[in-house]
Amino acid sequence: MRTNPQLVEQISAIRESVQELTHETRDARTFMDSMRVDVFQDRVFAFTPKGKVIDLPTGATPLDFAYYLHTEVGHACRGARVNGRWTNLDYPLHTGDQVEIILGRKGGPSRDWLNEDLGFVTTTRARQKIRQWFRRQGREENIARGQETVDRILKRLSLSMSTSEIAELFKRRFNTAEEFLAALGMGDISSDAVVNRLDQYIRERDGVEETVLEEEVVPRAPEIETTGIHILGTGGVLTHLAQCCNPLPGEEIIGYITRGRGVTIHRRDCANVLSMPQDDQDRLIEVTWGEEQHTFGVQITVTAYDRSGLIHDISGILADRQINMSSLSTGKRDRYNILPVYMTLEVPDLKTLTRVMAKIEQIPNVIEARRTV
């Protein structure tokens, strides 16, 4: 009886996936979920430039394709061309696509590849290979990588917190800041999880402060919500967000009673608030974020090597996530062809801002995206 070479190859791939999942996954439910994702769902058949067929789950990306070719190809992947055109690494492949993987000479996987919200890899196989790479790195190197991630998060969001303060938020899982950093560095905890916990912590802290204030001041006028902000102890007051610090929901805020313009809302760590003369500090008032959904304007700066289509690519990412851009301008290119792009985005919270900036940083030629304060 003649055998079908393609069927044999598929069965071999399934067997390999099962062996990897059995080795990596201890929980039975997680094992079955991974099997459904990697083995039993609809398949996509893509081709190498030499015509080899690679069988992948639906939704697989060029990065998944690279890891299916070979683990080291995945680790060294720095870009991809699909059907002869440069394509982002999170592009969903389709049956019939020809994929060429572009390799780098140095470096390894990026921790962002493990961030499910960024969509770089969709298969358990690729994700496990990436985690294994980070686990093999030395502890000191992982700690250093973790610290780099923390620094990048704080810089990107313009937050003033120490590493030990952030590690304290994860004390149930890690006994020391070094353990936290090592886990972050090896990919056991994602940068998105850190941002989510920061957002939760700031909201909880604001709630505690509001309770304390209500106990101290009696009687109190009803709280009035204007533009999504609670003014504690006052009624019917106009509010507007300070342009010097552009506070976002999830950040600790304070109000300043102006002369004739209502209450200006600042971040508590705003330089103008911290340097305020003693006489003006009497005009500060406690405020908190309301529960109603609003969007807020926040300024960001994207630094990139200038090229044709750069602004179009940035706009595409914003459009995909239904984020409005209310202003856009560019600075002057320097002698290295580096161009600053200034824009104001309308976002609902810190989490959304972090995700969209991380996505912008994956655009070819982009050096960094950061919040402007």
Mean pLDDT within 274-289? 79
Question: Higher confidence at residue 43 or residue 66?
Answer: 66
Confidence of residue 301 (pLDDT cuts 50, 70, 90): very high
Of the candidate ranges 193-197, 313-317, 354-358, the one whose mean pLDDT is the lowest: 193-197
Question: Would residue 75 count as lying in a domain?
Answer: yes
pTM: 0.44
Output phi, psi for 370, to 5 deg: -145, 155
Question: Would residue 52 count as lying in a domain?
Answer: yes
Confidence of residue 208 (pLDDT cuts 50, 70, 90): very low
Same domain, 31 and 11: yes
Same domain, 101 and 29: yes
**Paired strand residues for 46:** 54
Mean pLDDT within 243-255? 82
What integer pLDDT is reported at residue 186 of this predicted model?
80
Last residue of a domain, one of 135, 155, 177: 135
Q: Is the pLDDT of residue 291 over 70?
A: no
At residue 142's C-alpha, the angle toward residues 356 and 300, to 5°, is: 20
Each residue's pLDDT tens digit, 303-326:
999 888 888 888 888 888 888 888
C-alpha separations of 146 from 140, 166, 190, 196 in Å: 10, 12, 10, 16
What integer pLDDT is reported at residue 14 of this predicted model?
58
Question: Are the CB atoms for 222 and 232 separated by under 8 Å?
Answer: no
- Domain at 88, CATH number: 3.10.20.30
Mean pLDDT within 155-175? 85
Question: Would residue 207 count as lying in a domain?
Answer: no
Domain limits at 172?
Answer: 138-199
Each residue's pLDDT tens digit, 112-128:
888 877 889 999 899 98
Name the domain count of the chain: 4
Tell me the two tokens of residue 129: 């290979």
What integer pLDDT is reported at residue 253 of this predicted model?
87
